[in-house]
Amino acid sequence: MMNFIREGGFPMFAILIFGAILLVACGSFAWRPDPRRVETIRALSKVLVFSTLTGVASDISAVMHHVPGNPEWAHSPELHLIVMVGLGESMAPAILGTAFLTVAWLIMALGFRRLARQM
């Protein structure tokens, strides 16, 4: 797990924080469903989506700046493999962010089910 966080770099911490906040909010909704909380959870989900996109973009940017900046990599016959590994690591924020969103909205589904039973 730590290697996965390391691959994604600094943006992973923002995704972890926003994802945890989102999961707490979703858990609260599932525990005590209140339709007034849904907009807040949608807003928190958007924060997580934008954090995820920012993380992926910044990681891709880092790969595109660091590979040409390292002469050993830039002139390597395996340049394509180096870039592929870098792009693969750049997907770590997308994996973490979408995993948080998937779990969050699964919890929301439970809350919506409880809400429907109350009505």
- Measured in whole angstroms, how far is the alpha carbon of residue 11 from the centre of its chain? 9
pLDDT per residue as tens, the chain (119 positions): 899 999 999 999 999 999 999 999 999 999 999 999 999 999 999 999 999 999 999 999 999 999 999 999 999 999 999 999 999 999 999 999 999 999 999 999 999 999 999 87
Q: Which domain holds residue 86?
A: 2-118
Token output for 7: 């691959």
Number of Cβ within 10 Å of residue 68's Cβ equals: 12
Specify the number of domains making up the chain: 1
